[in-house]
Structure 1
Amino acid sequence: MKKAFKIIGITLLIILAILLAIPFVFQSQIEKIVQRYADENLNAKVSFSSVNLSFIRSFPNAQVDINDLVITNFKPFEGETLATSKSISLAMPIKEVFKSSSDEPLTINSINLDETLLTLKTNTLGDVNYDILKESETKNNDSSDAQGFTFDVKDYSINNSAITYIDESSNTSFFITEFNHNGKGTFSGELSELDTKTEGKISLNIDSTNYLDNNTLKLDALIDLDLNKNKYTFKENKGLINQLPITFNGFVQQIENGQLIDITFENPGSSFKDFLAVIPKTYSKDLENVETTGDFKLNGMVKGEITDNSIPNLDIKINSNNASFKYPDLAKRVENINIDVAIKNTTGNTDETYVDINALNFKIDQDVFKASGTLKNITDNMLVNLDIDGVLNLSNLKQAYPINLDQDLSGILKTKLNTAFDMEAIETNAYSRIKNTGTASITGFTYSSEDMVNPIQISNADMTFKPGTVSLNSFNAKTGSSDLAATGSINNLLGYLLSDKKLQGNFNVSSQQFLISDFMEADDNAKEKNKTTADSESLKIPDFLDCTIYANAKTVVYDNLNLKNVVGKLVIKDQRATLSNMTSDIFDGKMSISGDVSTQGTKPSFNINLGADGFDIAQSFTDLDLLKNLAPIAKILDGTLNTTINLKGDLNESFSPDLQTVSGDAFAEVLTRELNAENSKLLTALESNLNFIDFNQLDLKDLKTNLTFDNGKVNIKPFYIKYKDIDIGIAGSHGFDKSLDYNLVFNVPAKYLGSDVNRLIGKINDPEVNKISIPISANIAGSFTNPKVSTDLTSGVSKLMKQLVEIQKQKLLSQGENTIKDILSDVMTGNSGNSNTPKDSTVIKTDTTKTNTPNTEQTIKNILGGLLNKNKQKKDTVNLK
Structure 2
Amino acid sequence: MKKPILIFLAIFLFLLSALVALPFIFKDKIAERIEREIDNSINAQVYFDLNNISLSIFKRFPHISATIKDAGIIGNPPFQNDTLVHMDLLQVDFNLKSIIFDDYPTLTGIHLDGGSVYVKVLEDGTANYDITYPSEEIPTESNFKLSVDLIEVNNLDLIYDDRSLQFFMALGNIHAEGKGDFTLDVYDLPVKAEALIADITFEGINYLSNKQFKGETLMHIDMDQMKFSFGDGNFALNDFLFHLGGFIALPVEGIDFDLEFGGKDNSFKSILSLVPGMYSESFGNLKTSGSMDFGGFFKGLYNDNSFPSFDISLKVENGMFQYPDLPRPVSDVNLDMQIKNSTENLDNTSINISTFRMNFGSNPLSGRFTLANLITYDMDGELTGKLNLEELTSIFPIEGMSVKGLLDVNAEAKGRYDSVAKIIPSIDAKMQLSDAYVKSADYPAPIEKLNVNASILNKSGKMNDFLVDLSQFGFELEDEKITGRLKISDFSLLNWDGAVEGAVDLGKMLAIFPMEGIIMEGKVLADIQTKGSYKDVEESRFNRLDTRGTIALNKFYFTSTDLPQGIRIHEAEANFSPDRINLTRFDSRIGQSPLQATGFLSNYLNYILNEDEVLKGQLTLNSSKFDVNEWMVESSESSELSVIELPKNIDFNMSLAADEVLYDNLVLKEVKGNMNLKEGILTFKDAGMKTLGGQMLLSGSYDPRDLAAPKFDFNLNLSNLSIPSAFESFNTVKAFAPIAEHLTGNFNSNLSFSGILGQDMMPVLSSLDGKGLLKVADAAYKNSQLLQGITSLTKLNDTNTIQLRNISIPIEIHQGVMDVKPFDLRLWDYQANIQGSTGFDGTINYLINMQVPAGRFGSQANALLATISGTSANESTIIPVAINLGGTYKSPKIGLAGGNSIENLLANALKSRVTAEKENIQEQVTQQFKAAEDSVKKEIQLKAEMVQDSVKKEAEKKVEETMGKAVEEAKSVLKGILGRKTQTKPDTTKKNN
TM-score when normalising by structure 2: 0.54
What is the number of residues matched between the two proteins?
Answer: 620
Q: Which of residues 553, 559, 571 in structure 2 aligns to 1:460?
A: 571
Does the C-alpha gap of structure 1 residues 309 and 504 become closer, same or farther in structure 2, counting only changes over 3 Å? closer
Q: Note the alpha carbon deviations across 1:39-63, whole angstroms, 9 max, x for none.
A: xxxxxxx99866999xxxxxxxxxx
Q: Note the alpha carbon deviations across 1:558-608, whole angstroms, 9 max, x for none.
A: 233221111111112343211111111223332111111122222433222
Does the C-alpha gap of structure 1 residues 787 and 482 become closer, same or farther in structure 2, counting only changes over 3 Å? same
Does the C-alpha gap of structure 1 residues 335 and 71 become closer, same or farther in structure 2, counting only changes over 3 Å? farther
Q: Which of residues 745, 750, 755 in structure 2 aligns to 1:644?
A: 750
1:751 maps onto 2:751 in alignment:
no
1:322 maps onto 2:441 in alignment:
no
Q: Note the alpha carbon deviations across 1:660-683, whole angstroms, 9 max, x for none.
A: 3323223222222x4232x32212
- Which residue of 1 is the match for residue 582 of structure 2? 471
How many angstroms apart in 1 are the aligned matches of 2:677 and 2:555?
27
Higher relative contact order (Cα pairs below 8 Å, separated by 6+ residues): 2
Q: Is the 8 A contact 1:442 1:461 kept in 2?
A: yes
- Which residue of 2 is the match for residue 389 of structure 1? 501
Q: Note the alpha carbon deviations across 1:785-825, whole angstroms, 9 max, x for none.
A: 22221124331223356578989xxxxxxxxxxxxxxxxxx
Q: Note the alpha carbon deviations across 1:105-149, whole angstroms, 9 max, x for none.
A: xxxxxx98457599999x9xxxx967989xxxxxxxxxxxxxxxx
Q: Is the 8 A contact 1:480 1:518 kept in 2?
A: yes
Tell me how far 1:731 sits from its aligned partner: 1.4
Q: Is the 8 A contact 1:360 1:372 kept in 2?
A: yes
- Which residue of 2 is the match for residue 829 of structure 1? none
Counterpart code for 2:484: A
How many angstroms apart in 2 are the aligned matches of 1:711 and 1:240?
75
Counterpart code for 1:333: P
Counterpart code for 2:502: G
- Which residue of 1 is the match for residue 691 of structure 2? 586
- Which residue of 1 is the match for residue 127 of structure 2? none
1:266 maps onto 2:384 in alignment:
yes
How many angstroms apart in 1 are the aligned matches of 2:766 and 2:371?
72
- Which residue of 1 is the match for residue 528 of structure 2? 417
1:666 maps onto 2:840 in alignment:
no
Does the C-alpha gap of structure 1 residues 685 and 521 become closer, same or farther in structure 2, counting only changes over 3 Å? farther
Does the C-alpha gap of structure 1 residues 680 and 50 become closer, same or farther in structure 2, counting only changes over 3 Å? closer
- Which residue of 1 is the match for residue 892 of structure 2? 787
Counterpart code for 1:266: T
How many angstroms apart in 2 are the aligned matches of 1:273 and 1:509?
51
Q: Note the alpha carbon deviations across 1:169-224, whole angstroms, 9 max, x for none.
A: xxxxxxxxxxx347xxxxxxxxxxxxx8999xxxxxxxxxxxxxxxx99653699x
Does the C-alpha gap of structure 1 residues 424 and 566 become closer, same or farther in structure 2, counting only changes over 3 Å? farther
- Which residue of 2 is the match for residue 370 of structure 1? 483
Counterpart code for 1:750: A
Tell me how far 1:722 sits from its aligned partner: 3.2
- Which residue of 2 is the match for residue 614 of structure 1? 720
3-state DSSP of counterpart to 2:619: strand
How many angstroms apart in 1 are the aligned matches of 2:791 and 2:409?
96
Q: Which of residues 455, 460, 467 in structure 2 aligns to 1:354?
A: 467
- Which residue of 2 is the match for residue 439 of structure 1? 550
How many angstroms apart in 2 are the aligned matches of 1:354 and 1:586?
63
3-state DSSP of counterpart to 2:388: coil
The farther-off stretch of 493-502 and 313-322 is 493-502
How many angstroms apart in 1 are the aligned matches of 2:787 and 2:481?
77
Counterpart code for 1:293: K
Does the C-alpha gap of structure 1 residues 692 and 382 become closer, same or farther in structure 2, counting only changes over 3 Å? same
Counterpart code for 1:398: L
- Which residue of 1 is the match for residue 357 of structure 2? 238
1:482 maps onto 2:584 in alignment:
no
Does the C-alpha gap of structure 1 residues 117 and 632 become closer, same or farther in structure 2, counting only changes over 3 Å? farther
1:597 maps onto 2:715 in alignment:
no
- Which residue of 1 is the match for residue 808 of structure 2? 704
Does the C-alpha gap of structure 1 residues 49 and 675 become closer, same or farther in structure 2, counting only changes over 3 Å? closer
Tell me how far 1:423 sits from its aligned partner: 3.4
Tell me how far 1:537 sits from its aligned partner: 5.0
Counterpart code for 2:496: V
Counterpart code for 2:895: S
Q: Is the 8 A contact 1:538 1:654 kept in 2?
A: yes
3-state DSSP of counterpart to 2:406: coil
Q: How much is the aligned-residue C-alpha RMSD, in angstroms?
A: 4.8
Q: Is the 8 A contact 1:578 1:596 kept in 2?
A: yes
Does the C-alpha gap of structure 1 residues 598 and 430 become closer, same or farther in structure 2, counting only changes over 3 Å? farther
Q: Is the 8 A contact 1:383 1:421 kept in 2?
A: yes
3-state DSSP of counterpart to 1:296: strand
Q: Is the 8 A contact 1:464 1:472 kept in 2?
A: yes
Counterpart code for 1:367: E
Tell me how far 1:362 sits from its aligned partner: 1.0
Q: Note the alpha carbon deviations across 1:746-777, whole angstroms, 9 max, x for none.
A: 12222222234357889999899643322111
Q: Which of residues 40, 54, 68 in structure 1 aligns to 2:247?
A: 68
- Which residue of 2 is the match for residue 508 of structure 1? 620
Q: Is the 8 A contact 1:698 1:721 kept in 2?
A: no
- Which residue of 2 is the match for residue 549 of structure 1? 654
How many angstroms apart in 2 are the aligned matches of 1:502 and 1:119?
44
Counterpart code for 1:795: N
Counterpart code for 2:882: S
3-state DSSP of counterpart to 1:748: strand
1:570 maps onto 2:685 in alignment:
no
3-state DSSP of counterpart to 2:461: coil
1:689 maps onto 2:783 in alignment:
no
Q: Is the 8 A contact 2:646 2:704 kept in 1?
A: yes
Counterpart code for 1:576: I
Correspondence list, 1:12-51, <5 A: none
- Which residue of 2 is the match for residue 798 of structure 1? 907
Q: Note the alpha carbon deviations across 1:19-76, whole angstroms, 9 max, x for none.
A: xxxxxxxxxxxxxxxxxxxxxxxxxxx99866999xxxxxxxxxx997136899x9xx
How many angstroms apart in 1 are the aligned matches of 2:260 and 2:640?
46
Q: Is the 8 A contact 1:615 1:642 kept in 2?
A: yes
Identity of aligned residues (%): 21
How many angstroms apart in 1 are the aligned matches of 2:824 and 2:912?
27
Correspondence list, 1:765-776, <5 A: 770-776=875-881
**Structure 2 alignment gaps of length 5 or more:** 1-224, 233-242, 264-292, 321-330, 339-350, 917-993
How many angstroms apart in 2 are the aligned matches of 1:742 and 1:253?
83
- State which structure, 1 or 2, has the greater radius of gyration over its C-alpha atoms: 1
Does the C-alpha gap of structure 1 residues 521 and 437 become closer, same or farther in structure 2, counting only changes over 3 Å? closer
Q: Is the 8 A contact 1:699 1:721 kept in 2?
A: no
Q: Note the alpha carbon deviations across 1:315-337, whole angstroms, 9 max, x for none.
A: 21111222213245654422101
**Structure 1 alignment gaps of length 5 or more:** 1-45, 54-63, 90-110, 134-156, 160-179, 183-195, 200-215, 224-231, 808-881
- Which residue of 1 is the match for residue 449 of structure 2? 336
Correspondence list, 1:144-223, <5 A: 158=312, 180-181=314-315, 219-220=334-335
Counterpart code for 2:466: T
Q: Which of residues 621, 629, 647 in structure 1 aligns to 2:735?
A: 629
How many angstroms apart in 1 are the aligned matches of 2:717 and 2:488?
56
How many angstroms apart in 2 are the aligned matches of 1:489 and 1:276?
47
Counterpart code for 2:247: D
How many angstroms apart in 2 are the aligned matches of 1:693 and 1:427?
80
How many angstroms apart in 1 are the aligned matches of 2:231 and 2:913?
115
Does the C-alpha gap of structure 1 residues 741 and 758 become closer, same or farther in structure 2, counting only changes over 3 Å? same
Q: Is the 8 A contact 2:485 2:500 kept in 1?
A: yes
How many angstroms apart in 1 are the aligned matches of 2:802 and 2:497?
79
Q: Note the alpha carbon deviations across 1:505-543, whole angstroms, 9 max, x for none.
A: 110011111122111278xxxx9xxx7888585343345
Tell me how far 1:344 sits from its aligned partner: 0.6
Q: Is the 8 A contact 1:630 1:714 kept in 2?
A: yes
Tell me how far 1:652 sits from its aligned partner: 3.1
How many angstroms apart in 1 are the aligned matches of 2:255 and 2:737?
62
